[in-house]
Amino acid sequence: ILDRAVFHCPGSGSLWSLLILHMEANGAPYQMIEEMKHSATRHNLIEDIGGPEEVIAFQVSWCGYLRRRALESGPDETDGDDILNAEIGIRGAIEHVGAIVAKSKEIPEQAYSKYADGKTPGITGDPHFRLERIYVKYLLQRSRVDDARIYWSKLQETLADYYEFWDRYYICEMALWDHWLEGARMDHHSVSEDMRFPRRATNVLRAALHSVSTLDEPEKMIASFENHVQQHESAKEIIAASGEAAKAREVLAQRRKQEMAVWQKGQEDWVAAQKQAWLAEQESNGPAGETGNKRKLSIAASDQPGSKRARLGADASETQDAHDAAEPAKRDREHGSVLLRYLPKDATEIDVKKFFRGCGNIKSVLLADANGETKTGLVEFDSLGDAQFAQMRSTRPFKGEEIEITFAGDLTLYITNYPRDFASEDLKKVFSEFGQVLSLRLPNLAKNAFRRFAYITMDSADAANAAIEKLHQKPLTDAKGKEYQMQVHISDPNVKKDREGAMYEGREIVVKNLPFKASEGDVRAFILDVMKEERVRIPQGRSKGVGFVVFRDANIARLSVSILDGRSFMGRPMTVELATSEGRKLKVTATERFNRGSSTGPSDPRNGAAPSPGSVQSAEPPESRPFARSITISNLPPTTPQAVVQAIAEKYGELRRISLRSEKGTALVEYAQEASTGKAQMALDATEVDGNTVRV
């Protein structure tokens, strides 16, 4: 395959590099690999087509092969040839690459590619000095430590502005010091005072500080120097190093100040040039309106480098296109999922991910027992295309077993308008009559405490259709006997549903400038003189000067605005208008207050107890202050609604108030009697609510 690849792409140094590695790994003789190397470089195609970077990639593999071959040399007579080939080959590669880099950068060839003293090669001009590092490694493996240090010093002449160079140089000296120290200990030689500390490595970092005014990452270099001396050097060196580091920081601060001044000057010059160009354009085009001129000048000023407009794109249409392209796609679980049937009962999530490796990014895997012998799985991919490609894996065995893979787009149901006190288990119980419920997703109530919908995924399309047929618009009642008509549809994220509710349907009006002493009953009586309302609400039960009235029909609501606006109520003129969502904040805290006798208690028939004719809980006065009658339930899931908390808490006594903060996962429950708090705490602490263990 690689032979054909390099035949069709002879300018790819990366492909030639892979070919060298595979030939070496398969034990090809040196003569064959050398011939292949000459074939790659004979016509300079890598240089002409791929450029310097591809040449370096190829030479790195060739020089690495020569170095490894020389390292494996033994007493055989051919081993001297291997060492000579490595010495000449690596130095020749450095010379060749140096000439190419110099040519590409229009730098005189002798500045890079030459043998300065006949002993050490030049340098390639590669900022990452990849070939030079191979040559240093070769020298160290041949125990030519002095030659390696001479070459490091030579590299310093042109690479002193790169942090990577100093870091590699430092690591090399530390490795040599560790090797020498270990050898001295093995031979039981005494270690002199000077050799107990890595002075050569310290001096490398000290030399690097001299380049702090031009170094590409000076802050990292100063930090490395300080860390090194603290870890490895004597107290005297640490004291001296602290002064050197402080001086280097002063130089760096001056450098940053100069750079900022240059940048500001460039900004000012650019703005002046833009203004001059605009004025010249105005003179050539004739006079223009003041507003248009200001607009153009504003756009020109905002186009300067570094401005927000310049970063996003100078042209408005390009900016909009970039925004549209950057906008994340809406997650589509339904059309990006596949259903797996007849999985082995020991199948795991990792097994499923391995099975679909290469089909696309897997967002989630859900496994459920089907019949005790097999499992059913639901796998969500990034896109519909990935899911369709994954279905082609149905011909492959899964851990030796045949499985069925089908599209899961018609298995998820969208449910809304179910009873407020329905928990996740209640929903599962209703839908499990038609098939296995694979997953249930409830909305996060952290940002809107009154969201009420759910997504349920069934195990088959027949089960989903049967649930729609039997449950859509089916009347369901909550614990208080209120009836709801549940809505059940096949979920489709691409279909945007219009918002529902009195405000969005135009049936709600807002009444302003109400007297503070006005109650909901007062407002209801006043409205009733004009027309029949459906509901009156004053926020928090006490008038804040604003009330909301809901009617059964939008036409009646509009008519009420025309009749009531400006009328006097309790001596004050009212302002009446249709309610809108503008400026209205979504409630993140669900609070409900209960009048005496409005909540159930342990003796309520809904809680499984027979009513007691002689007992009326609401007649008992509160025994203590509110905080003594209250408990806090924590670690609630953010999907738990207030009605579910109420259904759990009212089993242990009459309620006065429930305040649920879904973003915190906590609920404050106030009882009518202090004795109820103890019962609730003992019964509810460490119990599970929607899968979470709560604390009370």
pLDDT in tens, 238-284: 898 889 999 999 998 998 889 888 888 888 888 778 778 877 776 77
Share of the chain above pLDDT 90, in %: 5
**Once rounded to an integer, what is the mean pLDDT over residues 22-41?**
85
User: Residue 178 has what pLDDT?
Assistant: 83
- Residue 129: domain span: 1-149
pLDDT, average across residues 45-71: 84
For residue 584, tell me if it sits in a domain.
Answer: no
pLDDT at res. 193: 58
Q: Would you state the structure tokens that stand for residue 179, as one six-digit string?
A: 């090797």
Pairwise CA distance, residues 66 & 332, whole Å: 54
Task: Read off the pLDDT of each residue in 634-646 and give the average, rounded to a whole number.
Answer: 86
pTM: 0.43
Angle at 435 between CA 349 and CA 345, to 5 degrees: 30
Q: What is the pLDDT of residues 199-224, one digit of tens each?
A: 888 999 989 888 888 888 889 889 99
- DSSP sequence for 55-72: HHHHHHHHHHHHHHHHHT
**116-120, 367-371, 412-416, 481-485 — most confident range:** 412-416
Does 435 map to a domain? yes
Tokens 């969005």 belong to residue: 504
Mean pLDDT of the chain: 78
Q: How many secondary structure helices (H) and strands (E) does the chain include? A: 23, 21
What's residue 8's pLDDT?
Answer: 77
> Does residue 420 sit within a domain?
yes
pLDDT of 97 above 60: yes
In this predicted structure, what is the pLDDT of residue 619? 42
Q: Do both 86 and 197 map to the same domain?
A: no
Beta strand 575-578 pairing with 508-512: antiparallel
Mean pLDDT, range 418-439, rounded to an integer: 87
Q: What is the pLDDT of residue 466?
A: 92
Kindly state whether residue 286 falls inside one of the protein's structural domains: no
Rounded Cα gap, residues 525 and 523, in angstroms: 5
Which of residues 196 and 641 earns the better pLDDT score?
641
| Diameter of the chain measured on Cα atoms | 117
Average pLDDT over residues 367-374: 85
pLDDT score of 483: 86
- Does position 304 have pLDDT exceeding 60, yes or no? no
Mean pLDDT throughout 298-305? 45
Q: Lowest-pLDDT range, 421-425, 449-453, 606-610?
A: 606-610
Amino acid letter, residue 153: S
With cut-offs at 50, 70 and 90, classify the pLDDT of residue 107. very low
Is residue 425 located within the same domain as residue 403?
no
Q: What is the DSSP letter of 116?
A: S
**pLDDT the model gives residue 608:** 42
Q: Is the pLDDT of residue 71 over 60?
A: yes
Pick from 306-310, 331-335, 497-501: least confident? 306-310
Instruction: Tell me how far apart the alpha carbons of residues 590 and 660 are, in angstroms, rounded to a whole number.
Output: 5
Of 100, 124, 149, which residue is a domain's last?
A: 149
Model confidence at 417: pLDDT above 90: no
Return the H-helix or E-strand segment holding 342: strand 337-344
Nearest to 70 by CA among 142, 126, 154: 142
Residue 692 burial by Cβ neighbours in a 10 Å radius (0-12, 13-18, 19+) = middle
125 is a domain residue: yes
- Same domain? For 141 and 51 the reply is yes
Question: Quick one: pLDDT at residue 318?
Answer: 42
Confidence of residue 632 (pLDDT cuts 50, 70, 90): very high
Is residue 355 a part of any domain in this protein? yes
Where does the pLDDT of residue 595 fall: very low under 50, low under 70, confident under 90, or very high at 90 and above?
low
- CA–CA distances in Å: residue 500 to residues 451, 505, 538: 12, 7, 21
Together in a domain, 677 and 644: yes
Q: Which two tokens stand for residue 14?
A: 């990366």
CA distance 397 to 442: 35
Q: What is the CATH number of the domain that holds 530?
A: 3.30.70.330
Are 204 and 264 in a shared domain?
yes
Question: Are 113 and 29 contained in the same domain?
Answer: yes
Same-domain pairing of 17 and 130: yes
124 plus 4 within the same structural domain: yes
Q: Are residues 523 and 544 in the same domain?
A: yes
Q: Are residues 377 and 263 in the same domain?
A: no
Among candidate residues 228, 251, 275, the one where a domain is terminated? 275
Whether the pLDDT of residue 603 is over 60: the answer is no
- Measured on CA atoms in the order 422, 425, 428, 433, is the torsion positive or negative? negative
Q: Is residue 376 part of a domain?
A: yes
At 125, the pLDDT band (50, 70, 90 cuts) reads low
Does an H or E element contain 547, and which? strand 546-550
Q: Are residues 1 and 144 in the same domain?
A: yes
| Window from 409-418, 513-522, 606-615, 632-641 with minimum mean pLDDT | 606-615
Query: Which tokens belong to 52?
Result: 């310097």
Given 389, 407, 425, the domain boundary residue is 407
pLDDT at 609: 43
- Report how far apart, in Å, the C-alpha atoms of 541 and of each of 327, 534, 586 are: 42, 17, 18
Average pLDDT over residues 688-695: 86
Could you tell me if residue 284 is inside a domain? Answer: no
Instruction: Dump pLDDT digits (tens) for 502-547.
Output: 777 788 888 888 888 888 888 888 777 666 666 677 766 445 688 8
Please determine, for residue 454, whether its predicted confidence score (pLDDT) is greater than 50. Answer: yes
How many other β-carbons are positioned within 10 Å of the β-carbon of residue 596?
A: 15
CB 22 within 8 A of CB 33: no
Q: Mean of the pLDDT values across residues 144-157? A: 86
Per the model's pLDDT, the better-predicted residue between 181 and 148 turns out to be: 148
**Average pLDDT in the 468-475 region?**
89
Please compute the mean of the pLDDT values over residues 48-54 and round it to a whole number: 81
The span from the CA of 548 to the CA of 435, in Å, is: 44
Residue 593 has pLDDT above 80, yes or no: no
pLDDT band at 613 (very low <50, low <70, confident <90, very high): very low
pLDDT, tens digit, 9 for 90 and up, residues 385-408? 888 888 888 878 898 888 999 888
Q: Are residues 123 and 175 in the same domain?
A: no
- Span of 191-200, 278-287, 370-379, 505-514 with lowest mean pLDDT: 278-287
| Both structure tokens of 501 | 């509710």
Q: Would you state the pLDDT for residue 379? A: 92
Check residue 37 and give its pLDDT: 82
Stated as kind and residue range, the H or E segment containing 269 is helix 235-285
Name the packing angle between helices 30-41 and 52-71 (round to 10°). Answer: 170
Q: Any idea what DSSP says for residue 611?
A: -
| Residue 663 confidence class, pLDDT cut points 50, 70, 90 | confident
Output the six-digit token pair for 366: 């859900």
Q: Report the distance separating Cα 23 and Cα 33, nearest Å.
A: 7
Report how many domains make up the chain: 6
Cα Rg of the chain (Å, integer) = 39
Question: Of the segments 33-42, 202-211, 507-516, 578-587, which one has the largest average pLDDT value?
Answer: 202-211
